Amino acid sequence: MILDGRPIAQKLESNIAREALEFQKNYGIKASLHIIVIGNDDVANLYAETTLNKLKALNMDGGIHRFPESTSEKDVTDFIKKLSSKKEVHGIIVNAPVPKNFDLRAILSSIYSEKDVDGQNPYNLGMLMLGAEEHAPATPKSIVRILEEYKVQLSGKKVCIINRSPVVGKPLAMLLLNRDATVNICHTKTEDLPSLSRSSDIVVVAVGKPMFLKEHMVAENSVVIDVGINKYNGKIVGDADFENLVKKVSMITPVPGGVGSLQTVMIIEQTLKNAQKLMQR
């Protein structure tokens, strides 16, 4: 089975558009997401424009706030704090990458935790450790949403996550532990990675290397979640060797069309939830 994320995204978008319109009628404003872009990275700028267009298509609003690389870190964090304090702002994200002379952790910390819709504020990451999932990062939430939508059993299952970042691997481990899975987090220093991944019911790969996960690294009838997006020989491919793995495993996400198709929608959904919660106070 191909674990296609696009039908899930379409269903979410339909619900968001309806609820966002109702929110606007009730409160006289649109739910809004604001995007911070630092420097001139093409991917960060493209993602910001795509997200803003998606917001408008779903009866929501927002803005892109661009800062040149020469801006001081304090000016950026002061702006984010001021933006966070505005009642009409319901969500804030910082698009990666940021220039090397900026401390990303300090910038993310300046977002008010209640308006951090990609779950990267240290407070929200800490709360996730305690089981509070409301502000979990979008990528792990997308992975869990796909698994649950396709009724993949998690309780008691062995999961191998090949990624230890605070954006994917670590928060995903918390979400899976909350669902009673047994989790191994693997990384560049893991010894005999193929043995660990082969003994797992579910393998999540997010290493940024095209077709890294090969047939010999997975068990027959296992489930593979591919988080990677790479350019390879003129095509967009994932971190899993899809063409060969699809013949062996029971379920696998495609690239494109898998986890990536849900990430932006999950951020927008969280923005709307924030707006509803904040306006009810």
- What was the pLDDT predicted at 280? 86
What are the φ/ψ torsions at residue 51 (nearest 5 degrees)? -65, -45
DSSP symbol at 230:
E
| Coil, strand or helix at 218 | coil
Q: Are 225 and 202 in contact (CB under 8 A)?
A: yes
What CATH number labels 138-259?
A: 3.40.50.720
- The structure tokens listed for 94 are 């910082």
Q: What pLDDT is stored for residue 46 in this prediction?
A: 92
Burial of 261 (0-12, 13-18, 19+ CB in 10 A): buried
Predicted pLDDT of residue 114: 95
Superfamily of the domain at 29-114: Leucine Dehydrogenase, chain A, domain 1 (3.40.50.10860)
* 138-259 shares the fold of 29-114: yes
**Domain residue ranges in the chain:** 29-114, 138-259
**Radius of gyration from C-alpha coordinates of the chain:** 19
Average pLDDT by consecutive 10-residue portion of the chain (281 residues)?
Answer: 97 98 97 97 92 97 96 98 96 94 95 96 95 95 98 98 97 98 97 97 97 97 96 94 97 97 97 94 78
Report pLDDT for 281: 78
